[in-house]
Structure formats: C-alpha cells, structure tokens
Chain A
Amino acid sequence: MNDSDAFLVAKAARRDRDAFSQLYDRYFERIYRFVRLRVSNQADAEDITAGVFLNAWRAIERFSPKHDASFISWLFRMAHNALTDRYRRHHDVVSLDDSTLMESHESSEQPEDELESRLTIIALQQALRILTSEQRGVVLLRFIEGLSAREVGDIIGKQEGAVRGMQFRALEAMRRALLLSREGDALG
C-alpha cells in the first residue's frame, strides 16, 4: 500500500487492475469531494467521478510524470474538464444545494471553533454558492485540497497570477456574503 504513485501508475498502464484499484482508493475521496462540492446532488457527483476514473484507466498510458505535476493533479484536471463540459452542455447552475452535507472536521479545541461559532456551516454553503463555478474550483483546490497556485493553474489552464487573483476575489466575495448574512441575522 506504500507504493508510489509512479509505480502504481506504471503497473496500471500495463492493465494491472489491482494497481489501479489502489490509486482509486487513494484518490477517490479528494476527487469526489471536489466534484460533489460543485454539483447539486450525489448522483451527478457519482456519475462524474466514475467518468473521471474510467477515463483515467483508459488513458493512463498517456500520463507522464515529466509533463504532469502529479497523478492527483492529472485527475483533478480531468474532473475540472468534466465539470466544465457539463456546465456548457446543460447550462446547469453548478451549485451546492441545501442538502449538501458539509461539516467541519476540526476538533473543538482548534481556534476555528471561534470562527465557526460565528460562521455557521450553512452560511459557508451560501457563501460558496455565490461564487462562479471557476472561482469555486479555485477555492476548493487551493484551500480544501491544499494545492499550490501553480498546480491549480495547471489544472484549470490559467496562469499562476490569474489563480491568485481569482482566489482573493473569491474570498472577498465570500467575506461580503458572510457579513451580509451576519447582518441579516442580527437584524432578524
């Protein structure tokens, strides 16, 4: 289970399903989360995620460690492209619905609890909802997945600087939405 990505990818490229299964177990959660937080329901998220891994299996011979930053970045790029195609085809408002299950996994001793006490999860959902699909993608990749601005740029096809600009604009938009939400709550 400690095999490197490169080793597993090389085996999977030789049609080793066990190796690909290990890659799946290793990266499913991140891909699914990235997709799930950009579509409105679980079924769509499963469809897109399954398509991502299926395409990865079919095209794994083309994965090149020299040209691709990492295997997970490669998967994220396919997921991003699938979401973009879906948005263009269906003109779907890719958004989080109220039933999207989100929670904080930090312990109560963490300082975020103080923030969380003021910013509820629902407010955070609403704040994410106001973002454009691309902004949301950047926010998720940068702050949830912990990728660098360069890696995110590779995934979404933007320059590093453009990614930084997008992330700050997204955070500013979310901050305003949260302030409005708090003011509304205070008035209410």
Chain B
Amino acid sequence: MGDTERLFDALLNDATTGKRTPAECLALCEVQNPELVSSLKLALLVRTVTLDDSERELARANVRQRLTAVLDSAESTRLESRSDVISPARSARRRIVWMRQLAVVAAALAFVVLGTWLLTDAAANALPGSPLYAIKRADEAVELTFAWSNQMRGEVLAQIALHRLSEARAEAASHHTTRAVALMGESNAATQQLIDLAIATKTRTAHDGIINDSLTKTLQAEYAALAQAQSDGQTWLAQLLLHNVSDQQSALSAGNISIPLEGAPTPTIPAAPIHLSATPPAAATPRPTPRPTPPIKPTPDSNGSDSGDHGHGGAGSGNPNSGDTPNSSDGQ
C-alpha cells in the first residue's frame, strides 16, 4: 500500500470514527497531499448519503412481515412432517376422514348386499327365458359350490330339484313342452344326486335326518305334481313324473333307503303304457322313452327289504308305489 493510499485510509478512518472532523481531515490532506483532497472530499460526501427514514422504516416492516410469514410456514411444515408430533386436532381430522371412508365402504357394501338379495329374491320365481333366470341358476350354482357339508348339499339339491319341478309344471301349463321335459330331466337328476348322497351318507355314518328330510320333501312334491298332472289331464307330464318316480324308487330300493311319506297325496297313476302323443297339446310333444313303463315298485316295506323304517308306515298310505298301483287305480 502506497503512501497516498495509506494517507487516504487514515484520514477517512479518522473522519468515520470521529477522531477528526471532516474539515480537519481535509486540511491535513491539503498539507500532506493536495492531489488527494478532491477524492477525500468526494468520499466524505458519499459517506453522508442515506435513505429517507420513512422509506427505510416501511421497508423494515415489510421485510419483517415477509420473513415472519416464511418462517412460520416453514416451522409448521417441519412440525407436520414429524410423525411423532401430531396435534390432537390433526389426529381428530384423521379419525374423521378414516370414519368417513369406513362409512362409505360400509354403505357400498350394504348397497351391494341389499341389491344382490333383492335381485336374487326377484329371480326366485323366474322361468327360463326371463332375464332373471340366469341369476337364479347362478345363485343355485354358488350355493351348491359353497355347500361344504353333506347336509347343506342335500338341502341345496332338494331346492334345485323343487325349482326345476316347479318350472317344469309352469312351462307345461304354458304348453312349453320341450322346456318342461328338459326341466323334468334336470329335476330328476338333482333328485337322483340327492338319493346318492343319502345312500352314501347312510353307508359312511348313520341315518341322516336332514338329508332324508330334504329327500322326503322332494319326493312329496313330485307326488303332488303327479297327482295334479293327473287331475289336470296332463297325462304326458304325469307319465314323465311316473318314470322319474320309478327310477328314484329303484335307486332307493337299491340303496336300502326308506323314505316316510306321510301325508303325501295318493296319486292316481294312469294305466301303463301311456302314450304321450295322445295328450300333449303342443306340436313339440316329446316322444316317450321307448322303455316300458316300469311297474311301480312297492316300498321297501312291501318289498320285504329291511330298511329299518317299517314303523313309519307312510309308504302304504301316501306312496304311489303302494298297494294302490297305478294300474289298479286307474280312475280315468
């Protein structure tokens, strides 16, 4: 640093610190280095420059306000980001949000369950050709799939058999012969499965009341349908039912199963063979099975087989295969 610069700094510092007045500094500079006076004068003049007080104070307040806002915001963000510091209000808000979500899910679930129940209920009486019939069949399939016990499976099979029988009678009444025949076949198939289940259950364990009750209900419905068909003059339907009953009785006999059928109406079996072509009203009358009408087998009781259910005594009164054989009871 040269002498000029050193002198300049010293005088400027003296003026700044108040060691000398600006006039004294300038006078001393005039003596020691006249060429430096103009620069020192200017520097001292610049030193006096300041801002307007009102502007400065306004700016101070504005900047403070902005800083406070930013720091408050940053502070709240930092606190909220800490998982271990959750204010009660925030916790309550979270709980309310969670409960709202739960309520929405519960409402949606209730809506689905109620809708499904209403739809299934409406489809219970649907007939083939109805838009709801597929739902009815799907519901049956689901129930059968999720029937995880023999008893439940028996009940579902009985329900299916009854549904098909009811549908077959309705279709027959509407002269939809082809549909009725098909549905009768499905009803018989379900009943046969129910009989197989009853035989299997009896073989493995013991007499199962629930399965037998289901079977009884199914057979009684068939007999009732048979009687109704006979009284209505639906001989072709009666003969189909008769064939089914005959098959089922054979299966029951083979499995040594005795089903009490108390209170079942005694059907009047038309004289065999019945020629379906004589009675079906529709053109699409199904051709009967060429096999001869099987004779109605007597109940295991009358057959002499030991079912262990002799005491029930229902077969003799309500069973079409009882002593009132179709042939002998031809009232037509």
Contacts and interface: CB of A to CB of B under 8 A. Distances in A.
A160 B58 CA distance: 36
B12 interface: yes
Interface stretch (B36-44, B124-132, B227-235): B36-44
Interface size class of B (residues with CB under 8 A): 35 or more
Q: Is the interface of B mostly helix, strand, loop or mixed?
A: helix
Interface stretch (B63-71, B196-204, B253-261, B278-286): B63-71
Interface in A149-175: 149, 160-161, 164, 168, 171-172, 174-175
A119 B63 contact: no
Contacts of A112: 22, 44-45, 48
B31 interface: no
A112 B45 CA distance: 7
Contacts of A139: 46
B64 to A, nearest CB: 7
Interface in A67-84: none
B50 interface: yes
B52 A101 contact: yes
Interface stretch (A3-11, A41-49, A86-94): A41-49
Contact of B46 (A45, A124, A161): A124
Contacts of B84: none
A23 B45 CA distance: 29
Given A102-B50, A124-B49, A49 B43 contact: no
Interface in A94-116: 101-106, 110-112, 115-116
Given A36-B51, A101-B52, A102-B50, A53 B63 contact: yes
A119 B1 CA distance: 30
Interface string A127-148: 0100000000001101110101
A58 B328 CA distance: 110
Interface in A25-67: 28-29, 32-33, 36-37, 42, 45-46, 49-50, 53-54, 57
Contact of A29 (B16, B60, B66): B60
B63 A143 contact: no
B45 A124 contact: yes
Contacts of B67: 24, 50, 53-54, 57
B49 A102 contact: yes
Contacts of A17: 71
B43 A171 contact: yes
Interface residues of A, number: 48
A168 B2 CA distance: 13
A57 B66 CA distance: 13
Nearest to A114: B23
B90 interface: no
Nearest to A53: B67
B71 A29 contact: no
Contacts of B39: 168, 171-172, 175
A111 B71 contact: no
B21 interface: yes
A126 to B, nearest CB: 13
A183 to B, nearest CB: 15
A101 B42 contact: no
Which 8 A-B pairs give the minimum distances between C-beta atoms?
A101-B52, A111-B23, A143-B46, A104-B48, A171-B39, A146-B16, A50-B63, A143-B43
Interface of A: 17, 24, 28-29, 32-33, 36-37, 42, 45-46, 49-50, 53-54, 57, 101-106, 110-112, 115-116, 119, 121, 124, 128, 139-140, 142-144, 146, 148-149, 160-161, 164, 168, 171-172, 174-175, 178
Given A28-B64, A32-B60, A168-B39, 16 more contacts: A32-B51, A33-B50, A42-B59, A49-B63, A50-B67, A54-B70, A57-B71, A101-B51, A102-B49, A104-B49, A105-B48, A115-B45, A143-B47, A144-B50, A171-B42, A172-B39
12 contacts: A32-B51, A49-B59, A103-B51, A103-B52, A104-B50, A105-B48, A116-B45, A121-B49, A142-B43, A160-B1, A174-B46, A175-B42
